[in-house]
Structure 1
Amino acid sequence: MAREATYRGTVYPWHCDHVGHMNIMWYVGKFDEANWNLFARIGLTPSFLRESGRGMAAVQQNVTYKRELLAGDIVEITSVVLEIRDKAIRFRHEMRNGETGEIAAICEFTGVHMDRRARKVVPFTEGIRAAALGQVAAVEAEMA
């Protein structure tokens, strides 16, 4: 399946550390922006979250760094849902150098769906689960 980008941007000089490459805090920030675009695709839109009093919280995050990104590099992130459970979702982002196509970093998250007022984890709606399961099926078909 052709994966659509969940984030596009660039590396600015102020994103770089003393070694001259993008600092880890900016990788995490760009992955976070991709999260919200991926969530919106399955129905976890900003308006849904506001109106329902729901939210998302990361409970695990694993980042693998593959290649440096330097000031001026174009960044593109594609994302896939790997698993959806009653109250939790697992997904992966691949950050690439938009010019070369090389993978710069991979991040896998586990997140939970929560009631913001009660501060408790709650089940996803059936519509969100169905949309996420559709993405999982597409990923599985791609890998078969």
Structure 2
Amino acid sequence: MTQALLSYRGAVYPWHCDHIGHMNVMWYVGKFDEATWNAFHQIGLTPSYLRDSGRGMAAVEQHIQYLREVHAGAVLSIRTTVSEIRDKVVVLQHEMSNDDTGEIAARMTLTGVHLDTVKRKACAFSSQILEAVKPLLGKD
């Protein structure tokens, strides 16, 4: 059974909203970015691992679906699964929900590449990372 990680939880503040009263797209992207780093941390791609091993992660593609408006005061959660992992590539599926209404507000698919920061090129994930991802593998 696929396990979804709780990768983000936070509130929408008035300054996150645009002139028509709903959360601006820049804040969706920011909250999804925080979810990405939280998910990475939970599978072992921690800041210390990346720094100490000369590794990094780079987003190479992302797609966002905006499904419901979100307003100031909303509490949001993002849950993350992994739809695909290959030697050097991981594809995350984020789903943002409004905790008050239970509605899905947005979804994002993110493709990330594991990097050797010295050689500045893609490199394989360690076996520990691949094993940590297995419970998160979902079907799209």
**Aligning the two structures, in what range does the TM-score lie when normalised by the shorter sequence?**
over 0.9
Tell me what 1:33 maps to.
34
- Following superposition, the deviation at residue 133 of structure 1 comes to 2.3
- Following superposition, the deviation at residue 134 of structure 1 comes to 2.9
Greater helix fraction, Structure 1 or Structure 2 = 1
TM-score using structure 2 length? 0.94
- Following superposition, the deviation at residue 4 of structure 1 comes to 4.0
Give CA deviations for 1:27-51 in whole Å, capped at 9, x if unaligned.
Answer: 0000000001111121111110111
Tell me what 2:128 maps to.
127
Preserved contact between residue 89 and residue 111 of structure 1 (Cα < 8 Å): yes
- Following superposition, the deviation at residue 93 of structure 1 comes to 0.3
- Answering whether residue 99 of structure 2 is matched by residue 98 of structure 1, we say yes
- Answering whether residue 118 of structure 2 is matched by residue 117 of structure 1, we say yes
The percentage of aligned residue pairs carrying the same residue is 55
Preserved contact between residue 83 and residue 133 of structure 1 (Cα < 8 Å): no
Distance in structure 2 (CA, Å) of the matches to 1:3 and 1:117: 33
Distance in structure 2 (CA, Å) of the matches to 1:12 and 1:117: 39
Preserved contact between residue 5 and residue 136 of structure 2 (Cα < 8 Å): no
Preserved contact between residue 3 and residue 135 of structure 2 (Cα < 8 Å): no
- SS across alignment from 2:119: coil
Structure 1 ranges of 4+ moved more than 6 A = none
The 5 A counterparts of 1:18-97 are 18-97=19-98
Distance in structure 1 (CA, Å) of the matches to 2:128 and 2:4: 21
* Structure 1, gaps ≥5 residues long: none
Preserved contact between residue 4 and residue 136 of structure 2 (Cα < 8 Å): no
Distance in structure 1 (CA, Å) of the matches to 2:27 and 2:45: 24
Distance in structure 2 (CA, Å) of the matches to 1:79 and 1:62: 14
- Following superposition, the deviation at residue 2 of structure 1 comes to 6.3
* Structure 2, gaps ≥5 residues long: none
Pick closer, same or farther for the CA change 1:119–1:83 going to 2, 3 Å.
same
